[in-house]
Chains A and B, each alone.
Chain A
Amino acid sequence: MRRLILIAVPYLWLLALFLVPFVIVLKISLSDTALAIPPYTPTLDLSAGWQGIRDFFAELDFENFVWLTQDDLYWKAYLSSLWIALASTAMTLLVAYPIAYGMARAPEEWRPTLMMLVILPFWTSFLIRVYSWMGILSQEGFLNQFLLWTGVISDPLQILNTNTAVYIGIVYTYLPFMILPIYATLDRLDISLIEAAEDLGCSRASAFWLVTVPLSKNGIIAGCFLVFIPALGEFVIPSLLGGSSTLMIGKVLWEEFFSNRDWPVASAVAVVLLLILVVPIVLFQKNQERQQEAEK
């Protein structure tokens, strides 16, 4: 009995907070827009009995999903989101790896402080941090003023409201998610393995590629998923830092919902996004399991 309760708790949790909302969204995606509250039909009318339920299901259709394939805005937005998420994951990896490596090689007494510094940004609201990037990247922002002052450029650069700003925003925001798992694997790496590689004829660089990188592979994979998955559906960063040409599915979703007030299409967009995300999430889980298996 106790075991049953223990198992039931997480399942109820998932049911209430994931499955039920998903079913609601799925249902809306199969509905039609209407000038009503809520702004779609049909709504389930249980007072009409069986007939009501039958009518309700009869009115559901895949029209909105078909629509997603007809207007090229949507698949372009999905593709562009995938591309931006992939590219920014790669960039985050390039920035995070040296930081994690430096942390793992730092003197023991420094490490808690360095770890603190990585986590510190979380103490401020995410929104405020993105807004402050607007202050840094805008035409009159700190970055342009600094570059003008040093004489590197003569005209201010247009960074804000471009894809570059989106990349900067994503790399900055998700950096800790990449650093921490990589740091965890590098921290456990036995220094004598590097010494053994050098002893057997590796230069510093080849020891890094042949030993350090393969042995931190699990951390790299975990970090990449932790960045890629939220970046794919990112909404705040592209809408605040990106320009009108920045096409991301999170932004499209928001506009369908609030500007267009087309809840059914917005829901269809969300369902497809979720289906796309299932792939990397399953792969991520597989990787975590494999890692735990290896540590046994």
Chain B
Amino acid sequence: MQSSTFEPWNDPEATPLIRFWNVTKKFGDFTAIHDLSLEIFEREFFALLGPSGCGKTTMMRMLAGFEEPTRGTIELAGQDIAHVPPNKRAVNMMFQSYALFPHLTVWDNIAFGLRRDRKPKDEIAARVEEMLKLTRLEKFARRKPDQISGGQRQRVALARSLAKAPKLLLLDEPLGALDAKLRQDTQFELMDIQEKTGTTFVIVTHDQEEAMTVASRIAVMDEGRLMQVDTPDRIYEEPGSVYVADFIGDVNIIEGRATPQGEGSYRIDWAEGQPPLTARSERRLAAGQTCYLAIRPEKVAITADRPADAANAIQGKVHDIAYLGNLSTYHVRLADGQIIKAQTSNRRRIARRQFTWEDTVWLSWTATAGVLLEN
């Protein structure tokens, strides 16, 4: 993907393919989606990310036509589709359970949608063969879904939903049923296929790593609201809220009071008996305002002696070490009992590890390493 140039969301001229306008969805008394507005552009690989029950599946089901919004409109290519039934939409869905028809062969499963359009026979056959080739399933065309493996079923589901060349393809936890290794391979395969077909993909997932890998933009959702919509790197590096910072990856959150000190720089008083921290931020914070400094463990350096030039340095004792093979995460307990995580890559063999339990260490980071948040 030409990620350097493909940024329609930054182009004020671009018209989005999908537009949610103040959409609210209620199930009885329960509000699944709160007054939500969102734009998704053509050729995007868009991820809806959130914990279960956050409303991401409801969003997808509204796009597919299985649910109607209680209020608001949903536009697809400028046309209001809020009340169009699923069979009249140029939208196809890949189901979490794959929903392959068990009584039909792989070939017939893929041809199912094409046959509904009453296309000529040879055209259907050509398209099915094309899809089989795209998903490398040629050998399994005559098998029934229960005669192939989970990974193959996943590809049949993908081929079937792509066969009608939809404007928009919805993927509901598409890799949820695969084991970790296969999932990684399939993520890249999905990206390849998305690129080849140029279809707009909207993926629903609760797996942040998956969303980060495949998506051009991610919408982080919680309790029916959008927390942040941004590119994966910005979501990770510049989360807009403590929730997003905490949901994506590992993070240390330090609560304190901000005092402005010059252009874009703040002093943060955060614990008694500890020196104040320094952080730079574009955000405007009032003097004495409660703030949160979110800092990723891999941006915290761990040393035996106090580094001379560090903007922030605090002392603590190693409380726990999580050894992950390529990385080690040190849980360092400060004097007041707070735990700060610091991550280092294990470039040396484990026998030559510098620190061990109960060692006194210094944690340090630069003024720009953390993100200063208000809530």
B85, A201: Cβ atoms under 8 Å? no
Total interface residues in chain A, CB < 8 Å: 18
Assess whether A196 is interfacial by the CB under 8 Å rule.
yes
Alpha-carbon gap, A193 to B100, bound state (A): 7
B97, A201: Cβ atoms under 8 Å? no
Majority secondary structure of chain B interface residues (helix, strand, loop or mixed)? loop
Alpha-carbon gap, A206 to B164, bound state (A): 18
Give chain B nearest CB distance to A196 CB in angstroms.
Answer: 4
Q: Which of B86, B95, B97, B100 has the most chain A CB within a 10 Å cutoff?
A: B86
Instruction: Mark interface residues in B85-117 (1 if CB within 8 Å of A CB, else 0).
Output: 111000111011101111100000000110011
For this complex, 20 residue pairs linking A to B, each with C-beta atoms less than 8 Å apart, are A192-B95, A192-B99, A193-B101, A195-B86, A195-B99, A196-B93, A196-B99, A196-B101, A197-B112, A199-B87, A200-B112, A200-B160, A201-B87, A201-B113, A201-B117, A202-B87, A203-B87, A214-B103, A215-B102, A217-B103
A198, B99: Cβ atoms under 8 Å? no
Question: For residue A108, which residues in chain B have a CB less than 8 angstroms away from its CB?
Answer: none
Instruction: Mark interface residues in A187-211 (1 if CB within 8 Å of B CB, else 0).
Output: 0001011011111111100100011
Alpha-carbon gap, A202 to B99, bound state (A): 15
Alpha-carbon gap, A6 to B85, bound state (A): 58
Question: For residue A210, which residues in chain B have a CB less than 8 angstroms away from its CB?
Answer: 112
A199, B92: Cβ atoms under 8 Å? yes
Question: For residue B97, which residues in chain A have a CB less than 8 angstroms away from its CB?
Answer: 190, 192
B95, A195: Cβ atoms under 8 Å? yes
B86, A199: Cβ atoms under 8 Å? yes
Total interface residues in chain B, CB < 8 Å: 24
Question: For residue B99, which residues in chain A have a CB less than 8 angstroms away from its CB?
Answer: 190, 192-193, 195-196
Closest residue of chain B to A189 (Cβ to Cβ) is B102
A201, B116: Cβ atoms under 8 Å? yes
Give chain A nearest CB distance to B125 CB in angstroms.
Answer: 17
Closest residue of chain B to A214 (Cβ to Cβ) is B103
B113, A215: Cβ atoms under 8 Å? no
Question: For residue A215, which residues in chain B have a CB less than 8 angstroms away from its CB?
Answer: 101-103
Q: Which of A193, A200, A210, A214 has the most chain B CB within a 10 Å cutoff?
A: A200
Question: For residue A199, which residues in chain B have a CB less than 8 angstroms away from its CB?
Answer: 64-65, 86-87, 91-93, 161
Question: For residue A201, which residues in chain B have a CB less than 8 angstroms away from its CB?
Answer: 87, 113, 116-117, 164
Give chain B nearest CB distance to A80 CB in angstroms.
Answer: 36
Question: For residue B102, which residues in chain A have a CB less than 8 angstroms away from its CB?
Answer: 215
Give chain A nearest CB distance to B153 CB in angstroms.
Answer: 13
A206, B101: Cβ atoms under 8 Å? no
Alpha-carbon gap, A107 to B64, bound state (A): 24
Closest residue of chain A to B144 (Cβ to Cβ) is A294
* Additional A-B contact list (13), CB under 8 Å, known A201-B116, A215-B101: A192-B95, A192-B97, A193-B101, A198-B85, A198-B86, A198-B87, A199-B92, A200-B112, A200-B160, A202-B87, A206-B116, A210-B112, A211-B101
Alpha-carbon gap, A211 to B103, bound state (A): 8
Question: For residue B93, which residues in chain A have a CB less than 8 angstroms away from its CB?
Answer: 195-196, 199
